[in-house]
Amino acid sequence: MAKWAKPYRQAHLVKLFVLYGNRCLLGDPICPHPDHYLYHKPKVVTVGKATQLPCHDRDGNPLRDAHGNAKTITVYKPVKAVIHKAVVCRLYELKAGEAIAHWQADDRAQALAEWLAEQRQIHCLGERGRTKGEFNAIAKDIWFAEQPLHYIEGLGVSGLTFRPFAKVRLASSYVVLFVDIADALRGESKNQRRKAIRYGKPLPQEIQKAIGLECSKAIRDYRR
């Protein structure tokens, strides 16, 4: 089966057949004219175009014949041209071919986008901060020393335990940990916890430090 033949696309082809069925290219259901089933399909080809160029000797002087006329040489340059080839088809086949060509173009674009995203993930460092320019020795040591060991990507509530958790990504890694932060949020009201988890409202500095400590403990336990 072709790669583009996904179930919803096959269903669309069925709808096209119901709409157009055995109709001619002009849309008539019963057409007695054979030429109404001829589709002149355009095609881009490369052909040679004759061009006359003057002849010169080694010194660059134009060459002439016995009658004094300038000598020329015929050179064929490749150029693009559009030709039309007559193909027998129905209106459904024409519509289906256009839809399939559109789907194939979408699949190629998506495959290219996925490949580019994969290359970016492979070649990036996974760190935040400066990505252009050069560091001297001291600035490089300071920059690496200031890099956090983890990033908190969001807060949520577990659907199994109904306890709040923090989604934590380890630096320079694709590892993600879900850390229980119920003890760190114990001092906050229910309304404040709901606003922080659902709408991303900032928490007090003390609560953020407590959450950071819980995340650091969980990362140390994970790396043991």
Nearest to 50, CA basis, from 17, 73, 29: 73
**Residue 77 domain-assigned (yes or no):** yes
pLDDT score of 201? 80
Asked whether residue 2 falls in the same domain as residue 98, the answer is: yes
C-alpha to C-alpha distance for 176 and 40, rounded to whole angstroms? 57
Same-domain status, 210 and 151: yes
Residue from 103, 222, 107, 207 nearest 164 by CA: 207
Number of independent structural domains in the chain? 3
pLDDT for 106: 92
User: Are 99 and 14 spatial neighbours (Cβ–Cβ below 8 Å)?
Assistant: no
Domain membership of residue 33 (yes or no) is no
What pLDDT does residue 95 have? 92
Please check whether residues 187 and 151 belong to one and the same domain.
Answer: yes
Asked whether residue 19 falls in the same domain as residue 95, the answer is: yes
Closest CA to 4 of 93, 101, 95, 112: 101
Query: CA-CA distance, 168 to 73, in Å (whole number)?
Result: 74
Task: Classify residue 136: in a domain, yes or no.
Answer: no
Residue 82 lies in a domain: yes
State whether 150 and 207 are in the same domain: yes
CA distances from 137 to 126, 134, 203 (A): 21, 10, 37
Do 47 and 12 fall within a single domain?
Answer: no
Q: Is 79 within a domain? A: yes
| Sheet-wide strand order for 164-170 | 150-157, 164-170, 176-180
Give start and end residues of each alpha helix (H) in the chain: 7-20, 91-123, 137-145, 190-199, 205-223
What pTM does this model have? 0.43
Query: Which domain does 14 fall in, by range?
Result: 1-23+90-112
45 assigned to some structural domain = yes
Q: Tens digit of pLDDT per residue, the chain (224 long)?
A: 788 888 999 999 999 999 998 899 998 888 899 999 999 888 889 988 898 889 988 888 888 888 888 889 998 989 999 988 888 999 999 999 999 999 999 999 999 999 998 888 877 655 555 545 556 677 777 777 777 778 888 888 888 888 888 889 888 778 888 988 888 888 778 788 787 888 778 888 888 888 888 888 888 888 77
Asked if residue 149 and residue 219 are part of one domain, the reply reads yes
Q: What is the pLDDT of residue 153?
A: 84
Do 193 and 97 lie in one domain? The reply is: no
Pair 62, 72 in one domain: yes
